[in-house]
Amino acid sequence: MVEEVIEAPFQSLLGHSCKIGNVSYFREGKGREWRKRDRAEVDWWHRFRDDCLGLFRGTQADFRVFLETMNSVDPAIKFTSEVDFEKNCVNFLDVTISIDDQGFLRTDLYTKPNTLNQLLLPTSAHPPSVTRGSVYSLAIRLRRICCTDELFELRASQLKQRLLERGYATETVDAGIRKAREVPRQEALKKVERKGGESDEGRQHRLIVEYDRRSSPALAQILKNNFEASCNRDTRLRTLFKKPPKPTFRKGTNLKQMLVKAKIPKAKPANTRGRERENRRGISRCNKGTGRNQCRACTHLTDHPREVIKEVTVFHSGEKIRVEDQINCQTKSFIYLLWNRKDPNKRQYAGQSGAEVAKRTGQHGYDIESQADKPVPNHFRATGGEREDLRMAPVMRVKTNNPWVRLHLERLFINKHNLVEDGINNVL
Ligand SMILES: [Zn+2]
């Protein structure tokens, strides 16, 4: 029986991180064992991160068995192949590798079908040399990938089209491609050797700045001119700094960095705001304390220094009014209830003020002390109360400076709780 022998490059994707040891295990261990059994073989094998590329000699069925064998070793490592058996080719990273009729390997550019044209815009804030350089580096990449000059020309013309779509100048594109075309492919394939930082001519000093297209292009010349001038003034400088310093550009903050946060904010327990407000609301004393300099108004607001009054009772009806605002003696613009602590019936008076709670409390206190002819002092006189028996309860803040609104709210309040008949107020 004659076995059809095909030669197919294959690519395998490893589901999990693959240590080099694993690959060599397949190459030296399982691979060898498998090779002995089936007479097909893996010619070579290379790995880039989680992608492997190898050359396999054998039938399609052989290859399937080979893949199964590899997948049986460790359940955490899964190989999949992306071989196109009809065209006898495989895509690896950005290269399509195929075998032609004569059995030679051919390479071409591979782009994923849904790739968008996202080449660097020439209008982007980059030094002009970067834009120019990017054309050349894209073209030289094609020179490396495409195995023939014809393929290179084809891919270069497609690249040119994409660059022109992004708004590159035709001359810039042509110049970059021409420069790449002049590099022989064998030369382009050589590994680029980076020059070391220090050479005989001395170290290159750099000025690192954020790139700004208004000022940065002129920077190199400014540094050079000033370097020359400094060297002429003091020749010792040139012995220390052999080369004029060069600017190096750092990327500035872009809109995306300003507008987009990659981090998702921490999950907050629901209804925090409500709870916070619940903690704050109520009538409380100011922080002057109860010492010698204590606030004169606060003793009229609560019975104890740390007490927070969350609701105020309308005594004659028993209705409780919830205090929704954060109120203390410094709160301005409010509606209040007051009563005499000594009054057994606890009849109440409602009023309003645009001033601070402390000031209004002081006015009532003064009226009681001076026995003025007003509803509140008259009531205190009748029920036997002194200034210290005054109890103030500012039940709500009025969040507007308009006195008419406040007066209207006061009238509604007096009416609602019927304080003319059941309270101390004498007018509605
Ligand atoms: Zn106070």
198 has a pLDDT exceeding 80: no
- Tens digits of per-residue pLDDT, 369-409? 999 999 999 999 999 889 999 999 999 999 988 999 999 99
The angle formed by the CA atoms of residues 252, 253 and 255, to the nearest 5 degrees, is: 130
Residues 221, 215: Cα–Cα separation, whole Å: 11
Question: Ligand 1 mean position to 357 CA, how many Å?
Answer: 9
Strands (E), 145-223: 206-210
Question: Ligand 1 mean position to 361 CA, how many Å?
Answer: 10
Question: Ligand 1 mean position to 330 CA, how many Å?
Answer: 7
Residue 199 confidence (pLDDT): 60
Question: Ligand 1 mean position to 296 CA, how many Å?
Answer: 7
> Residue 247: which region, alpha, beta or left (left: phi > 0; alpha: psi -120 to 50)?
beta
Q: What is the number of H-type helices and E-type strands within the chain? A: 14, 17
Please give the structure tokens belonging to residue 145. Answer: 């990938």
Neighbours of 252 (CB within 10 A): 11
Band of residue 175 on the pLDDT scale cut at 50, 70, 90: very high
48 has a pLDDT exceeding 70: yes
Band of residue 71 on the pLDDT scale cut at 50, 70, 90: confident
Residues 283, 270: Cα–Cα separation, whole Å: 26
Question: Ligand 1 mean position to 278 CA, how many Å?
Answer: 21
Question: Ligand 1 mean position to 294 CA, how many Å?
Answer: 8
Question: Ligand 1 mean position to 289 CA, how many Å?
Answer: 8
Question: Ligand 1 mean position to 302 CA, how many Å?
Answer: 10
Question: Ligand 1 mean position to 390 CA, how many Å?
Answer: 15
Question: Ligand 1 mean position to 339 CA, how many Å?
Answer: 18
Question: Ligand 1 mean position to 285 CA, how many Å?
Answer: 5
Question: Ligand 1 mean position to 334 CA, how many Å?
Answer: 15
Residues 336, 103: Cα–Cα separation, whole Å: 99
- Tens digits of per-residue pLDDT, 106-116? 899 998 888 88
Question: Ligand 1 mean position to 398 CA, how many Å?
Answer: 19
Question: Ligand 1 mean position to 405 CA, how many Å?
Answer: 26
How does the average pLDDT of the chain come out, rounded? 84
Strand order of the β-sheet with 332-340 is 348-356, 332-340, 390-397
Which residues are CB-neighbours of 13 under 8 A, at least 6 positions away? 50, 51, 52, 79, 80, 82
* DSSP character string of 212-233: -TTTGGGHHHHHHHHHHHHHHH
Q: How far is CA 125 from CA 173, 186, 249, 295, 412, in A?
A: 18, 35, 11, 62, 65
Mean pLDDT of 223-228: 94
pTM: 0.51
Superfamily per CATH, domain 6-109? ACT domain (3.30.70.260)
- Tens digits of per-residue pLDDT, 286-341? 887 666 677 889 999 998 888 999 999 999 999 999 999 999 999 999 999 999 99
